[in-house]
Each structure stands twice: as C-alpha cells, then as structure tokens.
Structure 1
Amino acid sequence: MVFRNPTEERQGFGCIFDMDGVLIDSYRAHFESWRMIAAEEGLPITEPQFARTFGRTSREIIAALWGEKTCDEAKIADLDRRKEAAFRDLIREDFPIMPGARELLDELRAHGFLLAIGSSGPPENVALTLERLGRQSLFSAVVTGMDVTRGKPDPQVFLLAAERLGLAPERCVVIEDAPAGIQAAHAAGAKAVGLASTGRTHQDLAAADLVVDHLHELSPALLRTLISPRLHG
C-alpha cells in the first residue's frame, strides 16, 4: 500500500475508520480471546470489566485488569502476543464483518472520499481484516497501534491518518464505536460519527456529532454535510 504524505494539503473530504467495532463486529472475538488467555493464566476477567476497556490497546487492558499481577514487561508482551494470536484465529474461522461495511466503503470512494484506517490494533490484526474485507485498494492510508506512541483519547492516530491522506483534519470525519475514539477525533479537529455496535449504547457515544446504529444509515452526502455544512447545507 502506498501512503501519501504531500507537502500541500488536498481539497476534498476524508473518512477515517476505526476498525474494531466499526468495520468488524469484533466485540465477542476480543472478549473470547481475553477469556481464553485469562483462564490459561488463572487471571480474573468478567464481561463488564472487558466492556469498560474495549477499544484500548492490549497492553492498556492488561495494565487496567491485571496490573498488580503482571508487572514484568516480558510477561505483558507474552500475554499481548498470545491474546492477539487467539483473536486472529477466531476471526479467521468466522469473520465478523460489520453489515454495510463493504457497501459504504465502495460508495464513499465512488463519490471521491479518501479513506483511511485509524486503529489502536496491531498491524497483523489490521492486515487480516483488510484482507478479509477485500477492499485494500480503497484505502489511501492505514495507521495501526505500531505507528503511534499515544493511544486514544490522544488524537495522534487520527492526526497521522489525516496527514497521510494529505487532508486537514477538519476535512475528515471519523467513524468510531468508543467514547475515547470520539474524544480523539474531536481533539484532532475532525467530526465524529458514533456507531452503536455490540457493547455500545447511544448514551456512551453522546459526544459524537452523529450517532447511528448501522453503517447503512450513512452516505457520502450525509458525511459531506456533517464535515462542511456551510458548503452542503
């Protein structure tokens, strides 16, 4: 994939997609992979605990759930590696594509939107998702957890995605399923759409500029109006 990093910003609009909970309905696969690793290690995890941390990096989740029991960096790295490998095995077996994802991607590109991924996930997870989506060629930029040093709600991931698209963040909309992601999008200067996917409610995403239940509710015209109402109102 070729990343664009021009010296001058383009005109037009961009859409930056979070991956987990937006392009794939990965809540159950993530919870199951955490449950498997926790059982192997004799560590506690409940679904409410997981739900509170969903959308953060694996290392952040390990620190939040088991910080006192996993102080060793080598152990944290081992848990992280095993958990993400288990997750990929699960979604290879049953790929949980979000309804309407392919259709929305196709429609946005057909109407001139530049597309990016802005995910906290490891590059292996993002690569597998893009492969299974079959839409790699539609994305002009991909940012993963390996590309950033600060996780959401810090805006770094979305600022970098906009930069790689060659667009000002103000000309971008972010589609997210997590409150931290909504906060990160706004901190970057972008508009934010909250997708109330598995484990999320409209109340959780109330800070977004628009909250929807399904990707089918979104269109290029709606997102253009959200980004620049004065041009499209």
Structure 2
Amino acid sequence: MNVQAVIFDMDGVIIDSEGFWQDSQIEVLAGFGIPITAQECERYTKGKRIDEIARIWGERYSLRIQPQRLEELIVAQVCGSVRSRGMAMSGLYQALRFFQAKGYRMALATSSSRQIIAAVFDRLALWKCFDVVCSADDEHSGKPHPAVYLTAVRKLGLEVGECLVIEDSLNGFIAAHRAGIKTFVVAPDYHEAKFSAAAGRYATLNELIYAMQPVLAGSC
C-alpha cells in the first residue's frame, strides 16, 4: 500500500459533534413550530452540507423562511456548541500522532462550512495538524458527490491510490468511494451492511490504528 496521506472527515470522526447538529436542527425548527426528532436528522441530513440541510427541511415542511437564514441559524447554534462543549473523538490525537510518525500528510474533507471548521480547530487546537483543509461549501455539490475528496487529493498533489479516507457517515463513505479512495469507516454503526464495501470498519480510531499498524509497516 503506497500510502502518502490520510484524509479525515470532521463531524463524527474528529469531533463528537453529531449531537450538536441534531440539537441545532431540532431547536431551530422548533422555533418555527416544526417538531423533528434526532432520528429524522440521522435519516435525512447526516453528512450533508448545510445548504442541503436547509433545503431538505424547507421542502419537507414548506417553510416560509429563506433557506439562507435557516442555514445561518443552524450554523450559529452548532458553532456555539462546538466552542463551549466540543470534545475530540476518542483516539483522535493518538491517530494524528500515529500517522504523522509514519510520515503521512494530513487533509480534511468535510461537509461543514469554514465557520464550523474554524470553531472545531480552535476548540481542539488542530490548526497545525493538517496540510490541506477542504470544505464541501466550496464545491458545486456536497457529499455524497466526490468533489470535496477529489479536491483534497488534488491539493495534496497526489493520486487517489496514495490516499486513505476515514469516514463515519454513509454520505461521506459514498463520496470517498466514488472518488476511488480506499475508505475506512469509524462509527458506532460500522458493522451495518451499508458499509460492507469499506476497506475496514471499526468502532473507534484507536481500533483503526491497532489494525493498521501491520498493514502500514511496509509502506514507509
């Protein structure tokens, strides 16, 4: 395996923020008299870009609010939660040190906006950890379209076969798979059939690192 770089998703891989996204959507929509559940957020909006999230809820409930305003309200809530309560996913810093020690470059490819990326990097002190940072906000389409992953590979100056992806959502996994990048899933539901095509499936980053040590040993 000629690995040169590891591309991380952010929400659910780097930071434990899925709950923030769900709570923010629930609270914002409740303000317009629309009750939604965490299960609905999981089903309809997990791993999607904020403009797609706003469009989904707007169309589903015929909201009169402008989509851009809905985006702003949700993003503000998420950023506030990240800055006050955000926590790194278990094994994050160990994973970063592990891959850095192997000489691999680090990239981020997330559906989140630059505003949320900044909140996460500030909270977790990650600014010096990544060589390339890509937001699907800058692409014509968000995940599951592969654009943000292909952009990350291009900015790294590598080929897709020289990169690995770590994802947690189905939309993100599909995006990376469509980009042709070997993808590892780290998620509570890693065992489900929807991730059967992954290169590896694990509950935590620590489990991923343990499994990858013999695999990567000969690629340096």
TM-score of the two chains, using structure 2 as the length reference: 0.89
Of 162, 165, 168, the residue aligned with 1:177 is: 168
Q: Which residue of 2 aligns with 1:225?
A: 215
1:196 aligns with 2:187: yes
Note the alpha carbon deviations across 1:35-88, whole angstroms, 9 max, x for none: 11011111231222111121111221232233154576x710001001110111
> Secondary structure of 2:47's match?
coil
Q: Distance in 2 between matches of 1:120 and 1:179?
A: 13
Q: Distance in 2 between matches of 1:70 and 1:59?
A: 16
Q: Which residue of 2 aligns with 1:154?
A: 145
Q: Which residue of 2 aligns with 1:126?
A: 117
Q: Is the contact made by 2:49 and 2:143 (CA closer than 8 Å) also made in structure 1?
A: no
Gaps of 5+ in 2: none
Q: Distance in 1 between matches of 2:88 and 2:136?
A: 21
> Secondary structure of 1:41's match?
coil
Q: Which residue of 2 aligns with 1:36?
A: 27
**TM-aligned CA deviation for residue 106 of structure 1:** 1.7
Residues 134-143 or 215-224, more deviating = 215-224
1:55 aligns with 2:47: yes
Q: Distance in 1 between matches of 2:151 and 2:25?
A: 29
RMSD: 2.3
Of 189, 199, 219, the residue aligned with 1:209 is: 199
* Percent of aligned pairs sharing the same letter: 31
**TM-aligned CA deviation for residue 223 of structure 1:** 7.2
Q: In the comparison of the two structures, how many residue pairs are matched?
A: 216
**TM-aligned CA deviation for residue 152 of structure 1:** 1.2
> Secondary structure of 1:121's match?
coil
Q: Distance in 1 between matches of 2:107 and 2:9?
A: 9
TM-score of the two chains, using structure 1 as the length reference: 0.85
**TM-aligned CA deviation for residue 209 of structure 1:** 1.3
Gaps of 5+ in 1: 1-10
**TM-aligned CA deviation for residue 141 of structure 1:** 0.3
Q: How does 1:38-117 map to 2 (within 5 A)?
A: 38-52=29-43, 53-67=45-59, 69-70=61-62, 75-117=66-108
**TM-aligned CA deviation for residue 138 of structure 1:** 2.0
Letter aligned with residue 206 of structure 1: S
Q: How does 1:125-144 map to 2 (within 5 A)?
A: 125-144=116-135
